[in-house]
Structure 1
């Protein structure tokens, strides 16, 4: 007969002290380790405040729930974030003890402190390496013996760095840990490390500030006075239910965590599901680093696709959790099919993420992703041609440019309601693109929604930068030239908006009023795309200087890959004045109006 759950108040050090060969396990359905420096700092401050209070009472750090149906495996149902963090803190403390102990004098006065530090070190090594007291001296002399001892095993399908804790715990010292942990691509400084190492480093650096006596006091308090309630369950079947309903402290579970847990619980072949989910998770993780989509947004996009397929055009949208677990829970009954659907969306984003028109569209509004995803879902990735992506992006761009210029919010009927209704047609592969384009033409051309004169006026007073990218695209299209832009492209003010020469430039331009000057230099006609290195080199130079130089000299417009900048080398004047900005703004405005209203 199965036992009931069993709660026990324990010291954290007792909770973490497992029998030889026993281990904590993070189950397949759990979330990835996601505690950041904010959570670690709060934990640290709580411990420090308790330590300095000199209270005789213990300090309580919440509840953890473990499945112990296997006597050698402590499966973490609730509390994996804290358990992982406690182990990282203990390792940081152990590294500092190893650094400090040899520096304590061997005189009679220092002996109690040194023995206290050694005693705390023994307790920590007993926890982290399941070492008996008599084995510890040999382990200290031969640190390599600590490798291969795993007390936390991560099976989570959402965790990309499953062995990160093991690498840190096996390290001889801080430098050894830093050498062996994972390094994230395209990241700088501490951002190149995982949460695991950043948190370990945080604790290590805080402990580095303490002398031997303070270190001893910290260790005694954490090991001897900090407590949790451990709730043990002997029924594996309770795991998913408890996981879905309990999260006693720390960061709340995301919708994706809950949904993936439900998918796992309903899968017939859990090994196959794990394989497929990890494939999706790795790809989406990369896309998230590139600021394209995360798992929640992929789930949201598929929800939009499903609602459109079911002819739902109500612009009010349910939460992800409610949609997948209540409204359309049948999706979770076929987890492998849902995996395939989500992977198809992720693969499409991976294929189109660097397309110039996708990058241009996303300069305007993130909501465009929902409807772009709906349309490209029609196609297999191999079918996504340049023409297909350009056509749909131009269509969406026209509407989102209007939103950029409008005082009306996205939630109005002109935008959200129209797009929700149109989404039913976007997902339907039987509906030709020309019919979709016609829908946009009729909607945008309806004078009850927009008048071209009012839009033109809005362009003239527009001071942000998204239209600068679109103006470059439309100019390139008009001239039959290729279009793209680098992630680090700069927005160049042809007439500088600041700098040492600004008073002279303002005077030469015939502008006396400072407010008029500020408005003028921020008009779309005074802004162009320009390479970062060129922009830095020309600074706030005179127009004649800017247009004459070359890229090889890193000092001018002449050989820029951006076509409006390159064209300025042939500008008939050597002075860029108020009339030139107005003329350029007028041309840009006409270009934009023609594009928006298909004139």
Structure 2
């Protein structure tokens, strides 16, 4: 970003609000949502600055503003903090107003009330009591804020309010009460109120980043490594889309319709997942894009009303597919398709999502499920066993997604041929499987190892072990931390061979607990009684050696090539 489009500096709350500038929460920004936990945290920070010998400065984090004229600033990130600090000041002014009504030091109290209001809140017309506030909130909150809080209402309405309006009211009441407790017993409460506001305003400071447009704001979010960045980037895109409609002078009902549709999409996806969904969705229909370039790309393509609504409609269409892939237990897909989606999720492979989105729009349910199953097989060969480059895989799936979207590939066979490059050959797969090690200290890896052995067992005996059963456990034949009795292994071999798939077997949990770190002769009798054929096969070995692991794993690899295969491509 050039210096002309980006400015950063540290400013205290006093400098922000006392400089004659105005701040506006964009119309369709999120509503006020802070609660008691956040209020109390902020209040403790404030008290830490105002007490005798307190903090000389307290950092409030980033505040991202957007302005074209350096007079009116849109609050892109930081509205919850900025709004709440304004409510703290309003609670203080409310206390001064009560002192006036009680006739306490009227002249000095009025001066303090007027001075603090003019510095931090803005001008209040003495005849109409209409606020000319330095801060305005979004379309759901501003009317309540300006009508009841800025004029220092003693009894803001509690009924028929929006949830966020109630949050504003409760914050106003909470800080009023906290301030009363803090001033209890003060000999000159008016003076103490003014001292508290001025002191906190001089000691609370922000890193203020000012940008000239949405694109530079988005770059800020991509650069900052701070809490809430991804959510703010989601809001930023929303604000951009609404600004497009606003420029074209769309009616209120159309803006509200867009807002409702947006909130439904983000609500179902959860805001932190939305950027990932949006990228996969975009790739499935248009060009490949990195997350860092996503906002810029959309901004370049979506410039008018038609494009805004087309984007929302397309997201609507793809959202169910994405949710079914990321949360398969909650989808309405057939159980067989859900099972495949669970495997893809267990593998942590997301590169195929754009193709699957595109294919779901093109194929019937049967062919889509067959494609999904094939992609699970590919992912197993390519990622889990092969450990091959994800970048090449991502490009292959994107390229095929484009062919499907453009109508070049319309059948399952076309699509499979289109992604043949990420389907390792039988020879490559068998070679990689024969030497595969899986460190099972992580629960995901342990589950994958169990999954592999379950599939191999079904191939060997026809038995289908329940991968999620608590009665199923993973046994290391040569223990990972043996106590002795494994003289056939050098220290180096114990380090490298115990995590090989050939050294692993399925056991019933009760039997595994009996074994512990027993030596192989003691284990053989347990293995011989196992319900799993592959485990009984181990009992036929006279001794367990590194060579036995290697030979067993080669046999398992040949079996695996018959399980994880795509007949059309083999």
TM-score range normalised by the length of the shorter chain: 0.5 to 0.7
Range that drifts further, 369-378 or 480-489: 480-489
Partner of 1:94: none
User: Is 1:468 the equivalent of 2:449?
Assistant: yes
Q: Deviations over 1:331-359 (max 9, x none)?
A: 87432332222233222233343222222
Partner of 2:343: 360
How far has the Cα of 1:592 moved from its partner? 3.0
Partner of 2:281: 302
Paired with 1:484 and 1:323, the residues of 2 have a C-alpha distance of: 46
How far has the Cα of 1:296 moved from its partner? 0.5
Partner of 2:98: 132
User: Is 1:378 the equivalent of 2:361?
Assistant: yes
What do you get for the CA RMSD once the two structures are aligned?
6.1
Name the count of aligned residue pairs: 446
Paired with 2:95 and 2:356, the residues of 1 have a C-alpha distance of: 49
User: Is 1:325 the equivalent of 2:299?
Assistant: yes
TM-score (norm 2): 0.57
Going from structure 1 to structure 2, the CA distance change for 1:131 and 1:477 (only over 3 Å counts) comes to farther
User: Is 1:28 the equivalent of 2:28?
Assistant: yes
How far has the Cα of 1:367 moved from its partner? 3.6
**Corresponding residue to 1:495 among 468, 477, 482:** 477
How far has the Cα of 1:53 moved from its partner? 7.9
How far has the Cα of 1:219 moved from its partner? 5.2
**Corresponding residue to 1:264 among 242, 255, 258:** 242
Pairing 1:158-197 to 2, within 5 Å after superposition: 162=164, 165-166=167-168, 169=171
Paired with 1:333 and 1:66, the residues of 2 have a C-alpha distance of: 26
Partner of 2:262: 277
Paired with 2:311 and 2:399, the residues of 1 have a C-alpha distance of: 24
Asked if the contact 2:382–2:388 (Cα under 8 Å) also holds between the matched residues in 1, the reply is: no
Query: What SS does the corresponding residue of 1:362 show, helix, strand or coil?
Result: helix
User: Is 1:345 the equivalent of 2:345?
Assistant: no
How far has the Cα of 1:503 moved from its partner? 1.6
Query: What SS does the corresponding residue of 1:334 show, helix, strand or coil?
Result: helix
TM-score (norm 1): 0.55
How far has the Cα of 1:377 moved from its partner? 3.8
Going from structure 1 to structure 2, the CA distance change for 1:494 and 1:245 (only over 3 Å counts) comes to closer
Query: What SS does the corresponding residue of 2:270 show, helix, strand or coil?
Result: helix
How far has the Cα of 1:83 moved from its partner? 1.4
Query: What SS does the corresponding residue of 1:511 show, helix, strand or coil?
Result: coil
Paired with 2:542 and 2:137, the residues of 1 have a C-alpha distance of: 66
Range that drifts further, 273-282 or 468-477: 468-477
How far has the Cα of 1:46 moved from its partner? 11
**Corresponding residue to 1:523 among 496, 500, 524:** 500
Query: What SS does the corresponding residue of 1:319 show, helix, strand or coil?
Result: helix
How far has the Cα of 1:283 moved from its partner? 0.6
Pairing 1:112-123 to 2, within 5 Å after superposition: none
Which consecutive unaligned segments of at least 5 residues does structure 2 have? 1-10, 68-72, 103-134, 142-161, 179-191, 329-337
How far has the Cα of 1:301 moved from its partner? 0.9
Asked if the contact 2:377–2:566 (Cα under 8 Å) also holds between the matched residues in 1, the reply is: no
User: Is 1:388 the equivalent of 2:368?
Assistant: yes
Partner of 2:82: 83
Which consecutive unaligned segments of at least 5 residues does structure 1 have? 1-8, 17-22, 68-73, 91-122, 137-150, 178-214, 232-237, 289-293, 550-555, 559-563
How far has the Cα of 1:320 moved from its partner? 0.4
Asked if the contact 1:302–1:342 (Cα under 8 Å) also holds between the matched residues in 2, the reply is: yes
Paired with 1:32 and 1:482, the residues of 2 have a C-alpha distance of: 52
Q: Deviations over 1:170-202 (max 9, x none)?
A: 7879xx99xxxxxxxxxxxxxxxxxxxxxxxxx
**Corresponding residue to 2:556 among 581, 585, 588:** 588
Pairing 1:175-254 to 2, within 5 Å after superposition: 222-223=199-200, 225-226=202-203, 254=232
Going from structure 1 to structure 2, the CA distance change for 1:528 and 1:161 (only over 3 Å counts) comes to farther
Partner of 1:195: none
Going from structure 1 to structure 2, the CA distance change for 1:57 and 1:520 (only over 3 Å counts) comes to closer
Going from structure 1 to structure 2, the CA distance change for 1:472 and 1:405 (only over 3 Å counts) comes to closer
Asked if the contact 1:299–1:342 (Cα under 8 Å) also holds between the matched residues in 2, the reply is: yes
